[in-house]
Structure 1
């Protein structure tokens, strides 16, 4: 079996057998990968530290017919709050589930991988609710399923004032292209969503956030994800229990 080495983040982990795990890895070189980590639940296993949720690792894997096998791994970054703070863990789980659902298996997404590392760092220092929303909006941009908020999705006209929004159309509509079922979309909400989409993780700046705008943006994007999947993400139940 061919082996390969890559940077990765653990996005999913399930116990398997007496001492093993099945893990979902988002890898730099091969995108989403399912792998078996044999013996990693034993206390002295060299894989134990790296096979935890949200671990940033360097990993060596062997290719398999159905799943790959973890041979070696080195823990590069442990995110304390993502593993010890329940609120941060809940919102981190939301981002992880989002990626598991919308990333195509085996397709490298190096830019998305780099963005995820910034998101994980942000969970350690920023409001987890805001971080999760920014992550969802920004990571959607890499999937080809993003919503559009700068130009009318029908005529392409630049929108710089109150407009209309249609989920089925995929974004903003100008007044001339308004269609049945489209809802009035205030400009302050549109600008807020664009600020989250364009947020620079490398040069973090203060964001003007109100509870009302945050709730409206969350509601819009969660409805959109549900329309794509046909069901809500399971991690939302975890968040609602907090």
Structure 2
């Protein structure tokens, strides 16, 4: 009888070990300014993580959902799985897909935006006690969320795809915004000697695979300014 009790107890212990939920291990990838990376997630989704950005994801996804969090910007090529939605959390905004490619910008203190190149994306805002749907996006759609303002517009899917290959398309951007983005890509600080120059607006495509001086040479030619670089700081005259 004692032997039976011991055997039964051992059986119960082994069963509890088998069915007890495993503790999830989270992985964080961080890119400083001036650095980009390509990351493969546990489900074979590919993430092109931008400079000055952070990605957090589990070592293995849960059975029902694939959830990650992003601070900064990234392009996603999501492995299709209709039975297991893929959700990107960025502050109070969540982006839900099944299998598609899209880009998210979610820098702290800046408007959130998502641009879709393929598939369908659902964007929602998390509020206490509820999740409010904002929009369903299709290829060529861009959604921008700034505080209470939500705007939807059209973009080129080629421009969205080009970002992961460092092709930066600026359509009617201010020079200040353009140099701010380039500063993050190259880890440079930009100073305008004449503030009025920073408001000049431009439309152009720049290849950020090239060196900083070559990119700024092209930008200076297009915007008609002079510049100098010293100790990771660019002065625009």
Instruction: Please tell me the TM-score bracket, short chain as reference.
Output: under 0.3
Larger strand proportion, structure 1 or 2?
Answer: 2
- What TM-score, normalized by structure 2, do the two folds share? 0.28
Structure having the higher Rg? 2
- What TM-score, normalized by structure 1, do the two folds share? 0.27
Larger helix proportion, structure 1 or 2?
Answer: 1
Of the two structures, which has the highest relative contact order with CA contacts closer than 8 Å and spacing of 6 or more?
1
